[in-house]
Chain A
Amino acid sequence: GENVEQHPSTLSVQEGDSAVIKCTYSDSASNYFPWYKQELGKGPQLIIDIRSNVGEKKDQRIAVTLNKTAKHFSLHITETQPEDSAVYFCAASSSSASKIIFGSGTRLSIRP
């Protein structure tokens, strides 16, 4: 069935450095790739998304890249700050899909 693999499961970076999280998907029909951030005690919230007709999208310190041929997409966070510490999920879905497929999550810790 459809699958989204996410790596790494945990990531610790020095404040100010960059963090990169990578995901691969299996369903060729996927055309929407969101990234969610989950802070302690809260539900996941969308932070950035990309559709299959675009290769890269940036929003301030956050960027996402998509390689449709290789079926992988990545989240890049630059100039990391303490408030970036959270669990991040990638996901994939399509207009015809019945559900959203989530990756297994990455726990990001920012060291002061």
Chain B
Amino acid sequence: EADIYQTPRYLVIGTGKKITLECSQTMGHDKMYWYQQDPGMELHLIHYSYGVNSTEKGDLSSESTVSRIRTEHFPLTLESARPSHTSQYLCASSEFFLAGEAFFGQGTRLTVV
């Protein structure tokens, strides 16, 4: 079982609230990713990081922001949640120097009402 954890698993929140989705891994991986998964199942990369103090925007434009202050931690923040942010958010990590397996967390199901 992968050592990558996301909290919370489910979140229902009102419009305009600030939220932070947590992601932590204990594998020492340098690369970390955030994906947004729509009901049609496709995975959209919204942010990624090569390592500490590195963050990059992904292929899908997102109003969220990320930070990477520690190797093991890659939180995603929405300053002002909107109903259009309702989705499943998946965090993943992989080793930097190898093209290898990505390990996914269980995901956070976010609903903005």
Q: Give residues in A with beta carbon < 8 Å to B.
A: 1, 31-32, 34, 36, 38, 41-46, 49, 51, 87, 89, 91, 93-95, 97-100, 102, 104-105, 107
Contact = CB atoms under 8 A, between A and B. Distances in A.
Given A43-B90, A43-B107, A95-B98, 10 more contacts: A41-B107, A42-B106, A44-B104, A45-B2, A49-B101, A94-B99, A99-B48, A99-B58, A102-B42, A105-B41
Contact of B43 (A42, A89, A93): A89
A99 B101 contact: no
Contacts of B100: 32
Contacts of B41: 38, 87, 104-105, 107
Give the most central of A41, A43, A44: most B CB within 10 Å.
A43
Contacts of A95: 97-99
Interface string B36-76: 00000111010010100000101100000000000000000
Interface of B: 2, 33, 41-43, 45, 48, 50, 56, 58-59, 90, 92, 94, 97-102, 104-107
**B-side binding surface: helix, strand, loop or mixed?**
loop
A84 to B, nearest CB: 16
A43 B43 contact: no
The 4 A-B pairs at the shortest CB distance, nearest first, are namely A43-B104, A32-B99, A105-B41, A95-B99
